Structure 1
Amino acid sequence: MPVIHSTYTPPFYFRNGFLATVYSGLLRSVTLEQTRERITLKDGDFLDLDWSYAETKTNKLIILLHGLEGHGQRPYITGAAKHFNNHGFDAIAMNFRGCSGELNRNYYSYHSGWTQDLDEVIKFALSKYEYSQIVLYGISLGGNLVLKYLGERDHVPNAVKAGIAISTPCHLHGSCKALHHPKNKLFHDRFLKELLERLKYKQKHFPEYLSPEAIKNIKTLKDFDDVYTSKAHGFIDAEDYYAQCSSLQFLDTIKVPSLIINALNDSFLSPECYPVKEAKNNSNLSLEMPNYGGHVGFIDKNNVYYNEYRGLEFIKNL
């Protein structure tokens, strides 16, 4: 499908990508009533799902996937859930393993290509409720998961009608290099601090897999992926993990209508994260590249973000 012309224009002071990113990550607030449900996975681990509901009984569901070190109460998740709730969708905010406030049971946890848990959540929702329209909505890392899930499978459940991916690092190696750039040091260091804090707890539970000395040698996000993410999940090293899990290579085979919204001033994304050629070659793939928005910072009116408006609009026009 041809690349979509974007009409998004934020207030002047939020045209700066850094300001839009920081404001949206630290200062945005969304009020939403959620109900938590824990499910047991095939391997004996667990996931916590945060539900919110439409005002009346519905056959429509949106499943929301957060970004790196996020969770189901982040405003970029609750904002989208609330907007879709207000328009007739129930919502599940997935908390990835270890991200709901409690350490998961296994040494491995989650990563940018770990689509198995999403598959289990979809099947769980379909087994428990009569949903005939499911929308998958991923932010950042969660966006990569959505696109990889849709493109790597020969078949997805018939109820899955659309995918939406926001601020998505389609090319993980390129995005990793972007995050290591000095202009992103504030974000890089914050992510790394949160990851290391959790890894220290995990090391105490699984000392046979990881030593305190190995953790001390982790100085960058790539180091973290070399030491933990890759080894814990069966990859050779970080670069092998990035190569196998980048959604870019799966975009050609997506058969479900999908929308990617990546801002051109998103400092987390490399040039490869704007898949123009893939969108033009796949009629099921739409790509919108607003000039503004930073990383998940598409600030708009009434505390409903542009990506939330556009996501719903995209679904209505299918």
Structure 2
Amino acid sequence: MQTILPTVVPQKLADHKAKLHRVRLSDGDAIAVHEDCPKEWVAGGKVAILSHGLTDHHRTPLLVRLTEKLTARGVRVFRWDMRSCGAGIEWARHPYHAGCSEDLGAVVHAVIEQCCKNTSDLSPDITLFGVSLSGNVLLKYLGESPDTIPTMVQRAVAVNPPIDLIAGIESISNRRNRVYERHFTKMLLKHHKQWAGVRPDVYRPPHGPQPRTLEGFDNWFTAPAIGYRNAREYYVAASSAKVIPAICIPTTIITAQDDPFVPFEMFSSDHITYPDNVRLVTTNYGGHVGFVSKKGDDPDMRWLDWRIVEIVTGETIS
């Protein structure tokens, strides 16, 4: 229930007024980054870099709500469309995927450059945010080369990250989750068709039946498009669980015990050694990126939104 609640709770999304930046990548592709800068922001102020999940983009409701709440508190917000997504669909030949930590690194450096245009500028106070697939990307970025993370990155938060992609794909393929899997597979196929329509140079799978499952899609398209033999090889390489022990900056992982896609067991200390600076926050309920609560001390029912605001700003909301 929590997984679908965010789609039925009434919400009005703010108009899009962000400034568009084009960030070039080392392989010739580019991605779109959208900046919302409050008038009161000054050099050295707080900055948030927000990443979206599977089949989403910068206008996904969660990211729009977070942008509105954070900018109202003076935070400069950058949302990025992963490769081939959103405003940058025509700018990329290669696909986004669960292990694209180098792309996040490029965004971080572009944001720092944007916030420090003058050498005398104070260093910004940056928080990184990732949700679902991009939560795994974020944790992989933080842990695979911790010595290279810019000092301006002060903290990070990952929500419902599938840190063990094999366990995640096996969970979503369970019969009780089949309706979700079919939905995501259809969305991926739709996106691939749309993307190939504007970029004829994208990887084109061999002719034959289209996949009906997420792992089938990754075997059919994602894995070969990014250089892996099959989906399982890709999942092992992209999973962030193995690098979490190396994370050096303060990081919060938020997940729910009733998440139908990301089994709670993958976060067990039997499988992962958490360093002191990585905090695991778990709730009994929340589903997959749901976390809708009864009206209480928070200004609205979006429990997750306000926890992110607290982490980024240091304020106490409730």
Which category of TM-score, normalised to the shorter sequence, fits these structures?
0.7 to 0.9
Q: Which is worse superposed, 20-29 or 182-191?
A: 20-29
Corresponding position of 1:276: 269
Distance 1:261 1:68, change over 3 A: same
Corresponding position of 2:215: 222
Q: Which is worse superposed, 204-213 or 120-129?
A: 204-213
For 1:278 and 1:257, the matched residues in 2 are separated by 20
Corresponding position of 2:184: 191
**Which ranges of structure 1 fall in alignment gaps of 5 or more residues?**
1-17
Corresponding position of 1:134: 126
Equivalent of residue 162 in structure 1, options 155, 162, 181: 155
Corresponding position of 1:48: 32
Contact 1:30–1:78, Cα closer than 8 Å, also in 2 = no
2:309 alignment partner AA: L
Contact 1:150–1:156, Cα closer than 8 Å, also in 2 = yes
Corresponding position of 2:95: 109
Distance 1:186 1:101, change over 3 A: farther
Question: Quick check: 1:235 aligned with 2:231?
Answer: no
Contact 2:51–2:134, Cα closer than 8 Å, also in 1 = yes
Corresponding position of 2:7: 25
CA drift of 1:199 comes to 1.9
For 2:254 and 2:244, the matched residues in 1 are separated by 14
Equivalent of residue 35 in structure 1, options 14, 18, 26: 18
Corresponding position of 2:310: 313
Percentage of identical aligned residues:
27
Determine helix, strand or coil for the equivalent of 1:138. Answer: strand
Question: Residue deviations 1:104-155, cap 9 Å, x none?
Answer: 3444210011011111111111112135211000111111111110001132
CA drift of 1:28 comes to 4.7
CA drift of 1:46 comes to 2.2
2:5 alignment partner AA: Y
Corresponding position of 1:210: 204
Aligned residues: 298
Contact 1:200–1:212, Cα closer than 8 Å, also in 2 = no
Equivalent of residue 172 in structure 1, options 165, 172, 177: 165
Question: Quick check: 1:89 aligned with 2:75?
Answer: yes
Contact 2:52–2:130, Cα closer than 8 Å, also in 1 = yes
**Which ranges of structure 2 fall in alignment gaps of 5 or more residues?**
117-122
For 1:274 and 1:64, the matched residues in 2 are separated by 23
Determine helix, strand or coil for the equivalent of 1:104. Answer: coil
Matches within 5 A, 1:228-267: 228-267=221-260
Question: Quick check: 1:152 aligned with 2:144?
Answer: yes
Corresponding position of 1:15: none
For 1:168 and 1:62, the matched residues in 2 are separated by 18
Distance 1:289 1:279, change over 3 A: farther
For 2:124 and 2:76, the matched residues in 1 are separated by 12
RMSD: 2.3
For 2:210 and 2:46, the matched residues in 1 are separated by 47
CA drift of 1:52 comes to 2.1
Determine helix, strand or coil for the equivalent of 2:148. Answer: coil
CA drift of 1:203 comes to 4.7
Question: Greater relative contact order (Cα 8 A, min sep 6): structure 1 or 2?
Answer: 1
Distance 1:161 1:277, change over 3 A: farther
Determine helix, strand or coil for the equivalent of 2:256. Answer: coil
